[in-house]
Amino acid sequence: MSKSTFSRRGVLQTGAVAGAGLAVPTIFTASSAAAFTNEPTGGTVTLGFNVPQTGPYADEGADELRAYQLAVEHLNGGGDAGMMNTFSSKALKGNGILGKKIEFVTGDTQTKSDAARASARSMIEKDGAVMITGGSSSGVAVAVQALCQEAGVIFMAGLTHSNDTTGKDKKANGFRHFFNSYMSGAALAPILASNYGKDRKAYHLTADYNWGYTTEEAVRTSTEAMGWETVAAVKTPLTQTDFSSYIAPVLQSDADVLVLNHYGGNMVNSLTNAVQFGLRDKLVNNKNFEIVVPLYSRLMAKGAGANVKGIFGSTNWHWSLTDEGSKAFVKSFGTKYGFPPSQAAHTCYVQTLLYADAVERAGSFNPCAVAEALEGYSFDGLGNGPTLYRAEDHQCFKDVLVVKGKENPTSEFDLLEIVEVTPAAQVTYDASIFGGELGSCNSGA
């Protein structure tokens, strides 16, 4: 069977792949033949990349898939090895994972939980995936993480920002490198107070699903603690494309700040509508009207164009960071694709390396051995400085970036500038504050 980089199953090379399609998953069934779900028995191992290829977060999904393909290339010994050269762990050898060549299958989450679960289930049951990763929606991440817990495979979350993912919905088989809503609020509040003052009235437009809820809550809590008043908070459908009917009431309120708890295409459209309604030119309560985007990305900034100038937000990572790991990744990604990577690409690339590294250090693909290797693991060299995968909730803690839209960008990619690198200690919280039970690892045996 011939494979290629762009097929549903691939190894980033063209040629024959031994044993393709012969995996016998043990998901939801008892089996005396396998010690754990989809234990690799031949010369290859299959990973499942589940990303939004359609829907409002498709741009992020496309960049995630690029990053996954690059990670597989590097892990299989191709390219310049990227962040494998800067990673503090030296367990990865460039010969796949535990000497097995990495194959991958892809799926489209459609930014819908049911579709994402169906896609992940197919990867596990039909394709023999031993690990699932990806997503650009917290609703999707929570749903797929629960499925992986039940199936007995590791879930390495992609872009998911809701507190719920490693909070009330955390699972022992799930791990998140991306930061969360709480961290955005903790990092943003001091910057907003310094630039806009402590006497502000905020109007929130919030995507109507769990990411939107926890982001609104985090920003409200942090800004109200410094003196801001929340005058309204309105939910908007994830499928919304025209936000004019939601922007108009803002003009009738006495709010002088609009907080857009939107992401991807939603944020691009709502910000565009806000600017079209002239909000940024308004003077309210004797103050210039301001807009805040709690979760930013380069892809969103590109979509919104000049409308992002001067607007503050937070981000997990940015390609302009000058640490050795970030520079290595930007070089590898840019050489392969012709443009710098997004934060979605970064976190997905890193998650793939971290999974492979944990398997190497554990000496096993058994998900419980992998989980043990990741819990409480401290590492460096992958961007954002020293990072901890906290054992209590499987959340990574690292520096968080506050950014704003550049007034005078030098290129179509140079749209955001870092205004503050918030130390990890400032955004760290007690693992119990969001509730939930981690539970026990499930190997599927």
How is residue 122 written in tokens? 């197919």
Could you tell me how far CA 203 lies from the centroid of its own chain?
26
Quick: pLDDT tens for 304-355.
Answer: 999 999 999 999 999 999 999 999 999 999 999 999 999 999 999 999 999 9
Report the CATH number at residue 137: 3.40.50.2300
Q: What length does the chain have?
A: 445
Average pLDDT, integer, range 347-367:
98
Q: Contact, 228 vs 201, CB < 8 A?
A: yes
- Do 354 and 263 share a domain, yes or no? no
Identify the band that residue 30 occupies on the pLDDT scale cut at 50, 70 and 90: very low
- Do 55 and 88 share a domain, yes or no? yes
Quick: pLDDT tens for 113-143.
Answer: 999 999 999 999 999 999 999 987 888 999 9
pTM of the model: 0.90
Q: For 253-322, where are the alpha helices, taking DSSP H only?
A: 264-276, 298-304
Identify the band that residue 5 occupies on the pLDDT scale cut at 50, 70 and 90: very low
Q: Provide the number of structural domains found in the chain.
A: 2
Do the domain assignments include residue 33? Answer: yes
What string of DSSP letters covers 353-411?
HHHHHHHHHHTS--HHHHHHHHTTEEE-SSSSSSEEE-TTT-BEE--EEEEEE-SS-SS
Instruction: Give burial (CB, 10 Å; 0-12/13-18/19+) of 329.
Output: buried
Please check the confidence at residue 26 and state whether its pLDDT lies above 70: no
Which structural domain, as residue segments, surrounds residue 130? 25-179+320-392
- Do 49 and 117 share a domain, yes or no? yes
Q: What percent of the chain has pLDDT over 90?
A: 84
Do the domain assignments include residue 432? Answer: no
Helix (H, G, I), strand (E, B) or coil at 45: strand
Could you tell me how far CA 171 lies from the centroid of its own chain?
17
Please check the confidence at residue 2 and state whether its pLDDT lies above 80: no
> What are the φ/ψ torsions at residue 119 (nearest 5 degrees)?
-65, -45
Distance CA 17, CA 127 (A): 13
- Do 188 and 169 share a domain, yes or no? no
Please check the confidence at residue 75 and state whether its pLDDT lies above 90: yes
- Do 29 and 174 share a domain, yes or no? yes
pLDDT (0 to 100) of residue 352: 98
H/E/C letters for each residue in 217-230?
Answer: HHHHHHHHHCCCEE
Residue 435: C-alpha distances to residues 134, 140, 430, 438 (Å)? 24, 20, 10, 10
- Do 174 and 151 share a domain, yes or no? yes
- Do 261 and 290 share a domain, yes or no? yes
pLDDT (0 to 100) of residue 34: 56
Number of Cα atoms under 13 Å in the Cβ half of residue 223: 30
pLDDT (0 to 100) of residue 299: 84
- Do 330 and 235 share a domain, yes or no? no
- Do 129 and 46 share a domain, yes or no? yes
- Do 106 and 196 share a domain, yes or no? no
Number of Cα atoms under 13 Å in the Cβ half of residue 239: 2
> What are the φ/ψ torsions at residue 231 (nearest 5 degrees)?
-95, -20
Please check the confidence at residue 27 and state whether its pLDDT lies above 60: no
Please check the confidence at residue 36 and state whether its pLDDT lies above 60: yes
**Greater pLDDT, 247 or 27:** 247
pLDDT (0 to 100) of residue 137: 85
- Do 198 and 122 share a domain, yes or no? no
Please check the confidence at residue 21 and state whether its pLDDT lies above 80: no
- Do 175 and 250 share a domain, yes or no? no
Quick: pLDDT tens for 180-230.
Answer: 999 999 999 999 999 999 999 999 999 998 899 999 999 999 999 999 999
Average pLDDT, integer, range 256-260:
98
